[in-house]
Amino acid sequence: MLNAAKTQGDPVSLNEDNLWEVPNVFDRPRYLLDDVQTSIFHIGPSNFFRAHLAKMAHDIMNKASDNNEPLNMGIIGASLRSPTIKNDLMPQNGLYCLTTKGVGVEDHEIIGSVRKIICARENAQEMITAAADPSIKIITLTVTQKGYYIGKEGLDIDHQDIKNCLDPSNPELSTLGLLAHSLNYRRLNGIAPPVIVSCDNLPNNAAKLRTALAGYAVHVDPELPAWIANNVPFPTTMVDRITPSKSENHTAEIKALGVVDSNPVLTEPMPKIPFVIEDLSEREGPIGQVFRDSGIMKFADKEIGARLSPKVGAYEHMKVSVLNGAHMALGVVGHQMGYKYSHEAMKDRNVREFVSQFMDEVIATLEPLEGTDYNKFKAEVIYRLDNEFVCDPLTRLARNGVDKVGQRFLETGKKALSHNLPSDCVNFATAAWLQYTSKLTDDGYLPSQMPAVTRQREKGLDVDLPNDEKGGAMKFPALVRDNKNAMAVIFSETTIWGQMGTEPRFTERVEEHFKDIEDDHMPSALLNFVNRDKKDFDSSPGTPSVGMP
Amino acid sequence: MPESAQKKAQGNPMRLNAQNLGNIPSSIARPTYDRNALKCGIVHMSVGGFHRSHQALYIHDLMQKNPSDWMISGVGMLPSDSANVTAMNEQDVLYSILERTTNGDELKICGGIKEMHHAPANPMAVVERLMDPDVKILSLTITEKGYCYNQQGDLDLTNPNIKSDLESPENPKTAYGYIVNALARRRKAGMKPFTVMSCDNLPGNGHLTQKLVLQFATQISKELADWIKAEVSFPNCMVDRITPVTTPEIVDLIENEYGIQDKWPVVCEDYRQWVLEDKFCNGRPAFEEVGVQLVKDVEPYEKMKVRLLNGSHSALSYISYLMGYRRVDLAMADPLIAKFVRTYMDKDITPSVPDVPGIDLDKYKDKLIERFANKAIGDQVQRLAEDGSQKIPNAILPCIRYQLENGGSIKFAALALAGWFRYLSGVDETNELIEIKDPAKAKMQDRIKVEPKDPTGVLGLDEIFGDVGLNGKLIGAVRDALTSLHEKGAKKTLEEYLAGA
């Protein structure tokens, strides 16, 4: 017996043979791993993927096992560069622990849907063949925006990765090369096409992938782009589940609970709408057929969590404007209140009230969306912001404002103005962002962050640069700093404001709030703001937070 | 209007109807033929402003010259057509046409339509009407969306009305339901079929209509489809006359200036053109007597017209709307917009327009600009901006495809598309709501609103843009224009685009 010598209390090494010795605090797969057939090929097996798609595929198989249905949602993970995840998970037979923590929630589950992980660096051809295998019906991706190689004109043909990938003597495979070659293999060998599902957190993710792939495919075979266009479904998706990167504390915690897992995942409770997939099932011809036959519709089940919809953009818009909008509003306001983390700032009643009012304002501008109660979505956002286990730094929530303020604040502001709805929370949040921005260095960081950034750089490590693709935008902090009394100069930055910079109903209010924050500092300005509609509210100094209803 | 004083009606205005026809002022032309004695040889589906200013007037002219059994039986196809059908019937299917030029107006009473039916009220009565052996032509102005075709140019079998027409042929909703039902009955009864004549702005309208009718018929019976293919003609044609929506102001003007109470007059420019393929399986009116050009090959005329006129119309509408213009003539009076239209025509459209017999393209374009600028008709920008998803694939995308294949300019076409996408964001440059009418509005907005400056998502709608939407050059050019429209506004963008042109 392999584990005969093991004494009680010793942690169990996670693998298939030891699965039944895993302590009961961990939920285990209710299906037999040996019975699982793989039909999903996933490119980029990230932590997010393991908390999201792999968890849902796992749930589908648990349910299938209960109902004696085929266990065919197994996943082959494909890592293009780093072998780390393969080296971590393959000795564990693909098993890993997924920990879910939220306010009042703590679950640990052993996920069994990832049956194999391969690495392109080790064998690119094997990977192409695996992706083209007839048993693979669904190809999913979480490769981040960088993995799409989208340039100004569709495919970024000058990108070094693409050049490498197009060079037959160079075995370095890119996402697009893998997809194009495997699709061409299917085309030439009469193998039915897969559905290709981008699960990256990008608006119009499918269109971006499809466009870049069309640009690449023509170099593989001139006939390939038309074959892809006529045969391969690319549903747009919206994805949502905050999943922090690996933490050693979490690994130690799992070990203390009795399991040795070299790469566990910690995540928040599954949101109510974690996955929306564009419904292509009604399409005529091969696109509809492939979509219906792929098994992707199994994710669209109340118990699993995804939904099918023709309006993925509306869900994306809800997420960006309500959730991400609240993130940014909380980040810039909370930081100036002196807090460090999301859950800390949310304990402050004025911050909490502001975030709540902000979301009400956003929600009023949204068009109705079938099966979606925006107020429930809002309540869930507050629950998520309260989650101390996610431990989101406010500086992370506030970063890259130059790129994000348009979608997160200004679109809501425009919509509110066009419908004569209130938009003063957006104005206040914008003013707070400008104040926050004025404190940044030209590098886009707060001075307090600079020592850590410098240390990272000295070690030669990648620094998660704010606005790393927009060098010019970094001039903005200085512009704000130098023009605190000449807001017109700030608003003339059309790349940020567009036509909102000449909209007096917006600029005048932002300017007022900016001055209030400048003169009174955030705690007092915020207190006055959240109580702006209360007539008998005494805003004189010395009485903040006293006598609040 | 200097002449208006002369026209000013004497006494009480009079209702337009057959009885009063003899009493209207002699300066107003009216039918002098015996409308009751003439039979209907044509059934026309979707009687709107354009049909009444164009085909019905050609028929009227012919009846004046040479009365024959080619009167029109009009059909309102949509539930919302009910009021107009009633209005026409209450005035004995007479109506006035106000032709407006900068030199003055001319009013005439048109009698080319003899009767009006409302199809949704009694669909089978329309099928019965088509069984009259005197009916030899069925003509159509059902607009692009009435044809229910997909991006491949095939019949959209997922369209709910098409599904319904295939499932319940006794209750037709689409033109195909009526056409194929009536043709099947004619075939069964051993009657001659009627010619099906599309008068819509579609590329190869006759060919396309034939293909779609055959695809519909094939769903019912292969034999029927074969018979239609062998026996029914589908002539191609190019039609042209700018006909704005009839506003209440026009109704008032005709009453006040001419003393005629007409519930549904039509207003148009004085220009008109009809180039028609001479291909009729069951006879035709002597169209050549009234200025219709009968030709062997309509295609060059149609390409010239759809690309230059309809393409420019769409292009100018969005930019003009964003700049605050609601009337086409006022927009064209803005030198920036006029220059944009001409530059767009010259650089991005003209290379793909074939040689057209007897036409000097430069003069044709001059005339178009003059027609667009017609102050007297005051065409609506909103009318031109409607249904972009139906018009642009025919009017603008073929030119873009041609230019991409031949390395030509797409700069102004890209600006036209960007203007459309900016307009579809639903809020104008002063944050006022834009009311958008387009069957693909929801689908397009779903992709635009999440990423207003990036056209990749919306251009990826292959049912509208096909493979052109994946072209990197187009994506880049539209991205530039769209970003500029959002950041700098329409006026500044036009100035920059036209600076070197």
Give A414-425 as a 3 state SS string: HHHHHCCCCCHH
CB contact under 8 A, B460 and A203: no
Q: Kindly report the average pLDDT of chain A as a whole number.
A: 91
**Yes or no, beta carbons of B471 and A154 under 8 Å apart:** yes
Smallest Cβ–Cβ distance between A419 and the set B433, B447, B450 belongs to B433
In the predicted structure, residue A5 carries a pLDDT above the cut 50: no
* pLDDT tier at B12, thresholds 50, 70, 90: confident
Which of A215, A225, A498 is opposite residue B486, by nearest beta carbon? A498
Nearest CA in chain B to A366: B449
- Clarify whether residues B232 and B186 are in a common domain: yes
**pLDDT, position A170:** 74
Q: Which of B195, B184, B177, B259 is nearest to B224 (CA)?
A: B184
Statement: residue A345 has pLDDT above 60: yes
Interface contact flag, B427 A415, Cβ < 8 Å: yes
| pLDDT per residue as tens digits for the range B291-327 | 999 999 999 999 999 999 999 999 999 999 999 999 9
The stretch A460-468 carries a mean pLDDT of: 58
To test the contact with chain A by mutation, choose from B149, B428, B443, B446 the residue with the greatest count of A C-beta atoms within 10 A, namely B446
Contact B428, B455 (CB under 8 A): no
Helix boundaries (H) for A294-393: 312-318, 325-336, 342-345, 349-364, 374-385
Which residues constitute the domain of residue B488? 299-498
Distance in Å, alpha carbon of B489 to nearest chain A alpha carbon: 7
B287 and B313 housed in the same domain: no
Q: Measuring CA to CA, how many Å separate A74 from each of A55, A61, A416, A467, B324?
A: 11, 8, 46, 38, 57
Residue B281 maps to which CATH number? 3.40.50.720
Q: What is the pLDDT of residue A536?
A: 59
A residues 30-69 near B, CB within 8 Å?
none
pLDDT for position A462 = 64
pLDDT at A4 > cutoff 60: no
Based on the fold, state whether residues B325 and B271 are members of the same structural domain. Answer: no
Average pLDDT of the residues in A469-477: 62
Q: How far is B428 from chain A (nearest CA, A)?
A: 9
- My answer on whether B341 and B426 are in the same domain is yes
Q: Are B199 and B276 part of one and the same domain?
A: yes
Task: With CB atoms and an 8 Å threshold, state whether B489 touches A499.
Answer: yes
B9 and B129: one domain?
Answer: yes
Q: Do A313 and B457 touch (CB under 8 A)?
A: yes
Nearest to B456 among A207, A284, A495 (CB): A207
Same domain, B332 and B274: no
ipTM: 0.90
- Same domain membership, residue B285 and residue B308: no
State the residue for tokens 């919302």: B80
CA distance B151 to chain A (A): 12
Q: Which residues of B touch A320 (CB under 8 A)?
A: 450
Nearest CA distance, A149 vs chain B (angstrom): 12
The nearest CA of chain A is from the CA of B153 a distance in Å of: 13
Residue of B431, B473, B486 to mutate for A, most A C-beta atoms under 10 A: B431
Q: What is the mean pLDDT of residues B343-372?
A: 95
Q: Does the beta-carbon distance from A204 to B450 stay under 8 Å? A: yes
Identity of the residue in A215, A284, A311 whose CB atom sits nearest the CB atom of B472: A215
**Given an 8 Å threshold on Cβ–Cβ distance, is B472 in contact with A419?**
no
Q: What is the pLDDT of residue A390?
A: 83
Q: Round to whole Å and give the CA distance between B196 and A476.
A: 64
pLDDT at A435 > cutoff 50: yes
Q: Which of A149, A153, A216 to mutate to test the interface with B (most CBs of B within 10 A)?
A: A153
Does residue A319 belong to the interface with chain B, where contact is any CB pair within 8 Å?
no
- CB-CB neighbors (< 8 A) of B475 in chain A: 153-154, 211
**What backbone phi and psi angles, to 5 degrees, belong to B81?**
-80, -5
By percentage, how much of chain A surpasses pLDDT 70?
93
Q: Which of A158, A162, A200, A204 to mutate to test the interface with B (most CBs of B within 10 A)?
A: A204
pLDDT at A391 over 90: no
| CB-CB under 8 Å, B467 with A503 | no
Shortest alpha-carbon distance between residue A275 and chain B (Å): 17
| Pairwise CB contact (< 8 Å): B446 & A312 | yes
Whether residue A423 is predicted with pLDDT greater than 50 in this model: the reply is: yes
Residue in the block written with tokens 């107006």: B105
Q: What angle do CA A211, A217, A219 make, to 5 degrees?
A: 125
Identify whether residues B98 and B115 lie together within a single domain. Answer: yes
From A204, A284, A414, residue closest to B457, measured CB to CB: A204
Q: Does A327 touch chain B (CB under 8 A)?
A: no
Provide the number of structural domains found in chain B: 2
Q: What's residue A6's pLDDT?
A: 45
Beta-bridge partners for B100: B105
Of B157, B462, B471, the CB nearest to A284: B157
In chain A, residues with a C-beta closer than 8 Å to the C-beta of B467 are 214, 225-226, 229
Residues A444-461 have a mean pLDDT of 77
Residue that is last in its domain, among B261, B295, B329: B295
Predicted local distance difference test score (pLDDT) of residue A244: 83
Last residue of a domain, which of B267, B295, B323? B295
Q: Could B447 and A498 be called an inter-chain contact, meaning their C-beta atoms sit closer than 8 Å? A: no
User: If pLDDT is split at 50, 70 and 90, which confidence band does A460 have?
Assistant: confident
Q: Could you tell me what percent of chain A has a pLDDT over 90?
A: 78
Q: pLDDT tier at A467 (50, 70, 90 boundaries)?
A: very low
In A, which residues are within 8 Å of B462 by CB distance?
229
pLDDT in tens, B272-287: 999 999 999 999 999 9
Secondary structure class of A81 (helix, strand, coil): coil
Q: Which of these three, B295, B322, B356, is where a domain ends?
A: B295
Average pLDDT over residues A489-515: 95
Of A310, A317, A417, which is closest to B431 when you measure between CB atoms?
A: A417
Distances (CA, A) of A501 to A411, B490, B492: 13, 15, 15
Q: Is the pLDDT of residue A402 over 90?
A: no
Judged against a pLDDT cut of 50, whether residue A546 lies above it is answered with no
**The residue to which tokens 């060098």 are assigned:** A471
Task: Convert B168-204 to b/e letters by CB count within 10 Å (16 or more is b).
Answer: eeeebbbbbbbbbbbbbebbeeeeebbbbbbbbbbbb
How confident is the model over B35-79, as pLDDT tens digits?
Answer: 999 999 999 999 999 999 999 999 999 999 999 999 999 999 999
Cβ of residue A207 closer than 8 Å to a chain B Cβ: yes
The whole-angstrom distance between residue A129's C-alpha and the CA centroid of its chain comes to 29
pLDDT exceeds cutoff 60 at A547: no
Q: Is residue A523's pLDDT more than 90? A: yes
Confidence bin at B3 (pLDDT 50/70/90)? very low
Per-residue confidence band for B217, with pLDDT thresholds at 50, 70 and 90: very high
What pLDDT is recorded for position A464?
60
Contact list, B411 vs chain A (CB under 8 Å): none
pLDDT at A403: 86
Mark yes or no for CB contact A418/B427 under 8 Å.
Answer: yes
Looking at the fold, whether B236 and B324 belong to one and the same domain comes out as: no
Indicate if the pLDDT at residue A219 is higher than 90: yes
Give the residue numbers in B contacting A (CB under 8 Å), as ranges.
Answer: 150, 157-158, 426-427, 429-433, 442-443, 445-452, 454, 456-460, 462, 467, 470-473, 475-476, 479, 486-489
**What integer best gives the mean pLDDT of chain B?**
94
Tell me: do B186 and B326 sit in the same domain.
no
Mean pLDDT of B463-482: 96
From B340, B375, B409, B138, select the one nearest B242 (Cα to Cα). Answer: B375
Picking from A280-284, A432-436, A457-461, B66-70, which range would have the lowest pLDDT averaged per residue?
Answer: A457-461
CA distance B457 to A210: 10
Angstroms from A192 CA to nearest CA on chain B: 21
Distance of CA A247 to the CA centre of its chain: 18
What is the pLDDT, as a whole number, of residue B6?
Answer: 45
Label residue A2 by pLDDT band (50, 70, 90): very low
What pLDDT does residue B11 have?
A: 65
Query: Is residue B220 located within the same domain as residue B359?
Result: no
Distance between CA atoms of residues B23 and B384, nearest Å? 38
CB spacing of B467 vs A215 below 8 angstroms: no
Per-residue pLDDT at A466 = 54
DSSP string, A3-53: TTTPPTTSPEEPSGGGGGGS-TTEE--SS-GGGPPEEEEEES--HHHHHTH
| Contact call for A499 and B486, based on CB within 8 A | yes
Number of cross-chain residue pairs from A and B with Cβ atoms under 8 Å apart: 109
Minimal Cα–Cα distance from B339 to chain A, Å?
24
pTM across the whole model: 0.89
Backbone torsion region of residue A547, taken as left when φ is above 0, otherwise alpha when ψ lies between -120 and 50, otherwise beta: left
Verify whether the Cβ–Cβ distance B479 to A152 is below 8 Å: yes
- 3-state secondary structure string, A49-75? HHHCHHHHHHHHHHHHHHCCCCCCCEE
Which candidate from B446, B486, B489 shows the least CB-CB separation from A311?
B446
Residue A538 has pLDDT above 90, yes or no: no
What CATH number has the domain bearing residue B304?
Answer: 1.10.1040.10
